[in-house]
Structure 1
Amino acid sequence: MQHLFKLGLLSTAILTSQITLANDFWSQDRQWLLGDWGGERQQLEQQGYKFNASIMSQAATNLSGGYNDSHTVENAGQLTLGATFDLSKIAGWQDTTASLMITKRDGNALTNETIKDPRSTTLSNAQEIYGRGKIWRLSQAWIKTGLNDNTLQLKIGRMGMSEDFNSSQCEFQNLLLCGGQLGKSIGSIWYNSPVGIWGANVKYRIAPEWTLGLGVYEVNPDNVKIQSNRDGFNLDMNNVKGATIPVELAWKPKLALFNGLAGEYKVGALYSTADASDVATTAKVHDGKHSFWLNTQQQLTEHEGDAKRGLFASLNVVVNDKATTMVQSTQQLALWYKGAFDQRPNDSIGLGIANYVVNKRVRDRQIATNISRGYTEYDAVASNYVPIQRDELNLELNYSYQWSPAVMLRPNLQYIHHPAGVKEVDNAWVAGLSMRVNF
Structure 2
Amino acid sequence: MQHFFKLSLLSVALLGSQFASANEFWSQDRQWLLGDWNGERKQLEDQGYKFTTSIMSQAATNLAGGYNDDNTLENAGQLTLGATFDLNKIAGWENTTAAIMMTKRDGNSLTLERIKDPRSSALGNTQEIYGRGKIWRLTQAWVKTGFADNTVQFKIGRMGMSDDFNSSQCEFQNLLLCGGQLGKSIGSIWYNWPVGLWGANVKYQFAPEWTLGLGAYEVNPDNVKTQSDSDGFNLDMNNVEGATIPVELAWKPKLSMFDGLPGEYKLGALYSTAEAKDVKTTGKVHDGKQSFWLNAQQQLTQQGADPKRGLYVSFNGVINDKATTTVQSTQQIALWYKGPLENRPNDSVGFGLANYVVNERVQDRQISTNQSRGYDSYDAFASDYIPIQRDELNVELNYTYQWSPAVMLRPNLQYIHQPAGVKEVDDAWVAGLSMRVNF
TM bracket, shorter-chain basis: over 0.9
Q: CA separation in 1, counterparts of 2:353 and 2:190?
A: 23
Q: CA RMSD in A?
A: 2.1
Query: 2:330–2:356: 8 Å Cα contact kept in structure 1?
Result: yes
Query: 1:5–1:76: 8 Å Cα contact kept in structure 2?
Result: no
- Whether 1:34 aligns to 2:34 is yes
Aligned to 2:368: 368
Q: CA separation in 1, counterparts of 2:411 and 2:22?
A: 28
Q: CA separation in 2, counterparts of 1:41 and 1:5?
A: 33
Aligned to 2:78: 78
Cα deviation digits, residues 317-340 of structure 1 (max 9, x gap): 000000000000000000000001
Q: Secondary structure at the match of 1:244?
A: strand
Aligned to 1:249: 249
Aligned to 1:179: 179
CA pair 84-23 structure 1, distance change in 2 beyond 3 A: closer
Query: 1:62–1:71: 8 Å Cα contact kept in structure 2?
Result: yes
CA pair 9-34 structure 1, distance change in 2 beyond 3 A: farther
Q: Secondary structure at the match of 2:379?
A: coil
Cα deviation digits, residues 349-402 of structure 1 (max 9, x gap): 000000000000000100000000000010001000000000000000000000
- Whether 1:379 aligns to 2:394 is no
Q: CA separation in 2, counterparts of 1:302 and 1:10?
A: 35
Q: CA separation in 1, counterparts of 2:284 and 2:304?
A: 59
Q: CA separation in 2, counterparts of 1:277 and 1:309?
A: 47
- Whether 1:121 aligns to 2:121 is yes
Cα deviation digits, residues 254-298 of structure 1 (max 9, x gap): 013211101000000000000000000231000000000000000
Q: Secondary structure at the match of 2:44?
A: helix
Q: CA separation in 1, counterparts of 2:350 and 2:77?
A: 21
Aligned to 2:54: 54
Query: 2:154–2:200: 8 Å Cα contact kept in structure 1?
Result: yes
Query: 1:211–1:251: 8 Å Cα contact kept in structure 2?
Result: yes
In the TM superposition, 1:23-422 aligns within 5 A as 24-422=24-422
Query: 2:22–2:28: 8 Å Cα contact kept in structure 1?
Result: no
Structure 1 residue 28: deviation in Å? 1.2
Number of residues paired by the alignment? 437
Q: CA separation in 1, counterparts of 2:176 and 2:340?
A: 25
CA pair 345-170 structure 1, distance change in 2 beyond 3 A: same
Query: 2:256–2:263: 8 Å Cα contact kept in structure 1?
Result: no
Q: CA separation in 2, counterparts of 1:249 and 1:243?
A: 20
Q: CA separation in 2, counterparts of 1:141 and 1:8?
A: 32
In structure 1, the gaps of 5 or more residues are none
Query: 2:418–2:425: 8 Å Cα contact kept in structure 1?
Result: yes
CA pair 273-103 structure 1, distance change in 2 beyond 3 A: same
Structure 1 residue 7: deviation in Å? 9.6
Query: 1:408–1:436: 8 Å Cα contact kept in structure 2?
Result: yes
Query: 2:201–2:213: 8 Å Cα contact kept in structure 1?
Result: yes
Structure 1 residue 21: deviation in Å? 11
Cα deviation digits, residues 213-259 of structure 1 (max 9, x gap): 00000000000000000000110000000000000000000013211
The letter of the residue matching 1:62 is: N
The letter of the residue matching 1:173 is: Q
In structure 2, the gaps of 5 or more residues are none
Query: 2:14–2:403: 8 Å Cα contact kept in structure 1?
Result: no
The letter of the residue matching 1:203 is: K
CA pair 78-33 structure 1, distance change in 2 beyond 3 A: same
Query: 2:367–2:388: 8 Å Cα contact kept in structure 1?
Result: yes
Query: 1:4–1:77: 8 Å Cα contact kept in structure 2?
Result: no
CA pair 8-33 structure 1, distance change in 2 beyond 3 A: farther
TM-score of the two chains, using structure 1 as the length reference? 0.96
Percent identity between the aligned chains?
Answer: 78
CA pair 9-88 structure 1, distance change in 2 beyond 3 A: farther
Q: Secondary structure at the match of 1:342?
A: coil
Q: CA separation in 1, counterparts of 2:57 and 2:306?
A: 31
Q: CA separation in 2, counterparts of 1:119 and 1:256?
A: 48
The letter of the residue matching 1:135 is: I
Q: Secondary structure at the match of 2:40?
A: helix
Query: 2:350–2:397: 8 Å Cα contact kept in structure 1?
Result: yes
Query: 1:5–1:77: 8 Å Cα contact kept in structure 2?
Result: no
Q: CA separation in 1, counterparts of 2:32 and 2:7?
A: 14
Structure 1 residue 148: deviation in Å? 1.2
Q: Secondary structure at the match of 2:38?
A: helix
